[in-house]
Amino acid sequence: KDEVFGKNLVDEYISDEFRESVRQVLDDALHGQQTDNYQVPLFTKHGDRVEVLLNATTRVDAAGTIVGVVGVGQDITAINQSQAELTRVANDLQLLIETANAPIFGIDTNGFVNEWNRKAAAITGFSREEVMGKDLVRRFITPEYQDSVGEVLHKALQGEETANFEFPLFTKSNERVDILLNAATRRGTDEVVVGVVGVGQDITAIN
């Protein structure tokens, strides 16, 4: 406390790239305009970076005259680090899906395609752009298998996963490809079902 009293907050304790924006937030509060949830990095005495979520509130005396600013902060360093790690993991998983040597597709709760990796595109001849947002069953499954494939996907949307379900796909050039499918329920961070991920295997040569 003794080390900071009387010092200029912005010039002494805010990093160069944030000084102007923090100065503006404090200046606004000095003119009666409060700021909520402003994120700013602080650097500790030892040079460590700390992320702070700041509320800057106007401070007035008994007569209602503005005499300063009170800043109430929350240390969100760990939260930001966790979010960064989750983002990294999500990016790694997306790369794994995209480059996997197996056809992988995803649908949302309405049955519309929201995932289509390179292998799925290579096997079917349909590019990602051609299938995204389309009804998977009605557009890409042959009529005689639409009901059974639809049932597998419906069950997965209810949390009942299916392994080793075999069905034929017809490619863009109308060639038959036999697929062995595992349909897995896809859930959001709140554990609510958001769709289905299908991981397949081309077993045409085996059949």
Encode pLDDT of 48-85 as tens digits.
888 888 888 899 888 889 989 888 888 888 877 777 77
Is the pLDDT at 108 greater than 90? The verdict is: yes
pTM over 0.85: no
Confidence (pLDDT) at 125:
94
Average pLDDT rounded to a whole number, residues 140-159: 91
Q: What number of other Cβ atoms are within 10 A of residue 186's Cβ? A: 19
Average pLDDT of span 141-168: 91
For residue 108, the cross-strand partners are 195
Cα distance between residue 62 and residue 95, in whole Å: 60
The order of strands in the sheet holding 193-202 is 113-116, 104-108, 193-202, 176-187, 162-170
